[in-house]
Structures are given as C-alpha cells and as structure tokens.
Amino acid sequence: MHSGMIGKVEKARRYAIERDRFDIMRLEVTVRGNNDSHRVHLEDGKWSCGCDFFEHNSTCAHTMALEIMFDGMLPNGIYDGATSSVA
Ligand SMILES: [Zn+2]
C-alpha cells in the first residue's frame, strides 16, 4: 500500500468513530428476525417496515434496532422516543 493510501485509511478510521460527521439520508435493509426477514426503508426522514407490528404502531423492533445501530447519524425527528434512552 502506498503512503497516500495509508493516510486515507487512517483518516477513514478516525471518521468512522466521529458519528456526527455522517447524515444517513436513505437506507434499505433486510433484517432477519427470529421468524421472518423484513425489508426496512428509510426515505424522506421516515421509516417503513414490512412487518405486521410496524403497520399498526409505525415502529417495530427492526426500525428500533437500526435507530440504535445508527444513533446520531439519522435525520432529526425520526426517533419516536422508544430508543432515545438506550444511547
Ligand atoms: Zn418491522
């Protein structure tokens, strides 16, 4: 690896832990639940999930798991409060 690339890798490692540098605008994720896989989208600052629980509650374990994983990098207002105390 040439020296320029080594510098980039070091910068990448530093950026990767500075979460406030990142604003996730859009996501599409397949979440493998215990019983089934579910497709989760983040679009225009709103979650959607194909599971039954989300349909009735506008949140679910799948969207909450992603909120925890991407804490600090998601659009303002997306958090519904359920996950805000875990950070
Ligand atoms: Zn779900």
pLDDT digits (tens, 9 = 90+) for 68-85: 999 999 998 887 656 655
User: Which residues neighbour 21 within 8 Å (Cβ) at sequence distance 6 or greater?
Assistant: 15
3 within domain boundaries: no
Q: For 47-72, how does the pLDDT look when each residue is reduced to its tens digit (9 = 90+)?
A: 999 999 999 999 999 999 999 999 99
Name the residue among 82, 52, 87, 51 with its Cα closest to residue 64.
Answer: 82
18 within domain boundaries: no
Expressed in angstroms and rounded, the spacing between residue 64 Cα and the centre of ligand 1 is: 9
How many domains does the chain fold into? 1
- Structure token pair of residue 50: 């194909």
> Do 33 and 62 form a contact (C-beta atoms < 8 A)?
yes
Which residue range forms the structural domain that includes residue 51? 23-87
Expressed in angstroms and rounded, the spacing between residue 41 Cα and the centre of ligand 1 is: 10
- Alpha helices (H) along 18-60: 52-57
Expressed in angstroms and rounded, the spacing between residue 62 Cα and the centre of ligand 1 is: 4
Predicted TM-score (pTM) above 0.85: no
